[in-house]
């Protein structure tokens, strides 16, 4: 009797344990999220046995495994979010170093690195400087310890070399960083400002004209400068006027700098450029006449700046033509289709945003709940301002290969909304303006912000 009672107790316990292994009502027993926060630090995958999940931690609703940590072992990654589940496990949202989102994995499987720095201030500058310290790192797309940035060299490679400095950025640890360019405008990288010595501020060109006349060099002691007027980026003295006193040259271009000095481009009779000289050191010996520039029909043509900015950075031409259309209210009064055109010449580029949030997908105006999938059709965003304040950009939201668009997943238990991510590069252009009769008017500097590698992903309300 006693043995039978004990067996009965054991049987009840076994049945209870067996039944408890199944969720009530046939529903899955999901983990719940007890806390989540946005973070920003680097890390390295050090454990090879972890699953990586798409929309959240393992065994939360709607989640599927998309990879194993073994695929990323010993790789450096970015961590942008930490989530804790009710079993007190911390999960991290990881991305590749260039910003492509991988998924969620157990934090115990990574080795945490340095926290990312935030950019607190930035400004465009224009001066020449020399590298004087040999112990600094050189970084590719921004200051050290900002997302997606890698060290590509050291300052010892450039000791005592001069460069153009076009931008300064301050990070939250109050360190100022500068971007260095060579004299052809190519970006070298970013380094600590304390490692350079400023030489002088560059002169700005306030006006430029195409001309055609002859001059005689009449003053000793003037420098003859290559690549532009004295103290403009890349300019270098190649001779003195003493070597050419009383000699005659053709002048094909005039530039005025911000100190109100007019500079002439000297060209010999064979068409070879000698360099730039102060106009005050010359005497004109033939009548000045305007040179008419022909429209280069071989260059790609655009009708609006938005068209230029909508091009992917990888497809952007080095030179292009922008047709200058009349204002709408004036169009009925004009017989000509345009009132002139602009020739845009690319000067330099600076990465402003690496795989970051650009804007919301235009087809979804609000956050939504209980959504498992979003269907994305082809859509165009125009005039959107990136969050870092670099001005307007326009671009097309990429969709799937078929005409029906594409599908992205969403966690139905969270408020969500599709967002557009990508990279933004700021382009500096020299813009020459002409009338519809091809008469040169003036030269300006303009900027565009070009998107690249754009894609759409689901963002959740915090």
Q: Could you write out the three-class secondary structure of the chain?
A: CHHHHHHHHHHHHHHHHHHHCCCHHHCCCCCCEEEEEEEEEEEEECCCCCEEECCCCCCCCCCCEEEEHHHHCCCEEEEEEEEEECCCCEEEEEEECCCCEEEEEEHHHEEEEEECCCEEEEEEEEEEEEECCCCCEEECCCCCCCCCCCEEEEHHHHCCCEEEEEEEEEECCCCEEEEEECCCCCEEEEEEHHHEEEEEECCCEEEEEEEEEEEEECCCCCEEEECCCCCCCCCEEEEEHHHHCCCEEEEEEEEEECCCCEEEEEECCCCCEEEEEEHHHEEECCCCEECECCCCCCCCEECCHHHHHCCCHHHCCCEEEEEECCCHHHHHHCCCCCCEEEEEEEEEEEEEEEEEEEEECCCCCCCECCCCEEEECCEEEEEEECCCCCCEEEEEECCCCCCCCEEEECCCCCCEEEEEEEEEEEEEEEEEEEECCCEEEEEEEEEEEEEEEEEEEEEECC
In terms of domains, do 326 and 192 share one? no
pLDDT exceeds cutoff 90 at 109: yes
Q: Which residue has the higher pLDDT, 343 or 14?
A: 343
In terms of domains, do 159 and 186 share one? yes
pLDDT exceeds cutoff 50 at 7: yes
pLDDT exceeds cutoff 80 at 69: yes
Closest CA to 350 of 72, 141, 75, 139: 141
In terms of domains, do 180 and 47 share one? no
Q: Is residue 5 part of a domain?
A: no
Domain limits for position 85 = 26-114
In terms of domains, do 346 and 456 share one? yes
Q: Is residue 342 part of a domain?
A: yes
In terms of domains, do 62 and 177 share one? no
How much is the average pLDDT of 303-332?
A: 73
Residue 433 to residue 412: CA distance in whole angstroms: 54
In terms of domains, do 110 and 134 share one? no
CA 374 from chain centre, in angstroms, equals: 28
pLDDT exceeds cutoff 60 at 413: yes
In terms of domains, do 223 and 242 share one? yes
Q: Is residue 1 part of a domain?
A: no
Q: Is residue 11 part of a domain?
A: no
Closest CA to 412 of 356, 369, 357, 364: 369
Can you give the pLDDT at residue 295? 44
In terms of domains, do 145 and 75 share one? no
pLDDT exceeds cutoff 60 at 391: no
Can you give the pLDDT at residue 103? 93
Residue 64 to residue 214: CA distance in whole angstroms: 76
Given a contact cutoff of 8 angstroms between Cβ atoms, the answer to whether 72 and 50 are in contact is: no
How much is the average pLDDT of 151-174?
A: 94
Q: Which residue has the higher pLDDT, 177 or 364?
A: 177
Residue 327 to residue 338: CA distance in whole angstroms: 10
Residue 34 to residue 53: CA distance in whole angstroms: 18
Cα distances (Å, whole numbers) of residue 1 to 10, 11, 13, 15, 112: 14, 15, 19, 21, 62
Residue 459 to residue 185: CA distance in whole angstroms: 38
| pLDDT level of residue 2 (50, 70, 90 thresholds) | low
Can you give the pLDDT at residue 329? 43
| pLDDT level of residue 275 (50, 70, 90 thresholds) | very high
* Cβ-proximal residues to 365 (8 Å cutoff; 6+ apart), any chain: none
Give me the CATH number covering residue 137: 2.30.30.170
Residue at a domain's end among 256, 290, 324: 290
How much is the average pLDDT of 1-6?
A: 55
In terms of domains, do 346 and 430 share one? yes
Residue 308 to residue 447: CA distance in whole angstroms: 11
In terms of domains, do 31 and 109 share one? yes
Q: Is residue 335 part of a domain?
A: yes
pLDDT exceeds cutoff 60 at 129: yes
Residue at a domain's end among 290, 315, 342: 290
In terms of domains, do 344 and 225 share one? no
Can you give the pLDDT at residue 97? 86
In terms of domains, do 99 and 128 share one? no
How much is the average pLDDT of 145-155?
A: 90
How much is the average pLDDT of 313-340?
A: 64
Given a contact cutoff of 8 angstroms between Cβ atoms, the answer to whether 352 and 425 are in contact is: yes
Q: Is residue 17 part of a domain?
A: no
Q: Is residue 429 part of a domain?
A: yes
Residue at a domain's end among 178, 201, 224: 201
Can you give the pLDDT at residue 303? 84
The mean of the pLDDT values for the chain is: 82
Can you give the pLDDT at residue 330? 42
Can you give the pLDDT at residue 387? 45
Given a contact cutoff of 8 angstroms between Cβ atoms, the answer to whether 184 and 203 are in contact is: no
Sheet with 162-171, edge to edge strand ranges: 151-154, 137-139, 187-192, 176-181, 162-171, 119-131, 196-201
Highest mean pLDDT among 20-24, 144-148, 248-252: 248-252
Q: Is residue 163 part of a domain?
A: yes
What domain count does the chain have? 4
In this prediction the pTM is 0.66
Q: Which residues pair with 241 in a beta bridge?
A: none
Can you give the pLDDT at residue 259? 93
């Amino acid at each position: 009797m006693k043995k039978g009672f004990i067996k009965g107790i054991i049987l009840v316990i076994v049945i209870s344990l067996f039944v408890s292994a199944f969720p009530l009502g046939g529903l899955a027993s999901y983990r719940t999220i007890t806390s989540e926060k946005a973070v920003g630090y680097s890390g390295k995958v050090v454990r090879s046995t972890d699953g990586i999940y798409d929309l959240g931690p393992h065994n939360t609703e709607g989640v599927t495994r998309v990879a194993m940590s073994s695929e990323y072992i010993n790789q450096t990654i970015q961590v942008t979010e930490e989530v804790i589940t009710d079993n007190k496990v911390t999960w991290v949202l990881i991305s590749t170093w260039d910003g492509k989102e991988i998924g969620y994995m157990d934090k115990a499987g990574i080795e945490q690195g340095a926290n990312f720095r935030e950019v607190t201030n930035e400004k465009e500058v224009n001066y020449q400087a020399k590298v004087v310290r040999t112990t600094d790192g050189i970084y590719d797309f921004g200051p050290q310890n900002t997302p997606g940035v890698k060290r590509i060299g050291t300052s010892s490679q450039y000791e005592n070399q001069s460069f153009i400095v076009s931008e300064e950025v301050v990070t939250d640890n109050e360190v100022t960083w500068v971007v260095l360019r060579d004299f052809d405008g190519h970006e070298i990288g970013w380094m600590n400002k304390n490692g350079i010595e400023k030489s002088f501020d560059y002169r700005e060109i306030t006006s430029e004209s195409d001309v055609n006349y002859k001059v005689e060099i009449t003053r000793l002691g003037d420098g003859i400068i290559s690549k532009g007027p004295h103290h403009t980026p890349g300019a270098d003295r190649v001779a003195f006027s003493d070597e050419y006193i009383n000699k005659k040259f053709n002048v094909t271009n005039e530039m005025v700098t911000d100190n109100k000095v007019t500079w002439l481009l000297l060209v010999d009779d064979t068409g070879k450029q000698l360099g730039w000289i102060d106009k005050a050191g010359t005497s004109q010996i033939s009548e000045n006449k305007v040179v008419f520039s022909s429209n280069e029909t071989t260059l790609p043509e655009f009708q609006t700046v938005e068209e230029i900015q909508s091009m992917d950075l990888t497809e952007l031409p080095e030179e292009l033509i922008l047709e200058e259309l009349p204002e709408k209210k004036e169009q009925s009064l004009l017989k000509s289709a345009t009132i002139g055109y602009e020739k845009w010449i690319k000067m330099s580029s600076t990465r402003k945003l690496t795989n970051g949030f650009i804007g919301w997908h235009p087809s979804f105006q609000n956050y939504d709940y209980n959504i498992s999938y979003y269907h994305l059709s082809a859509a165009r965003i125009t005039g959107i301002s990136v969050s870092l304040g670099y001005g307007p950009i326009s671009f097309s939201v990429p969709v799937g290969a078929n005409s029906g668009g594409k599908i992205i997943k969403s966690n139905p238990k969270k408020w969500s909304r599709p967002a557009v991510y990508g990279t933004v590069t700021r382009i500096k252009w020299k813009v020459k303006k002409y009338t519809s009769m091809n008469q040169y008017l003036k030269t300006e500097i303009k900027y565009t912000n070009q998107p690249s590698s754009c894609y759409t992903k689901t963002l959740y309300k915090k």
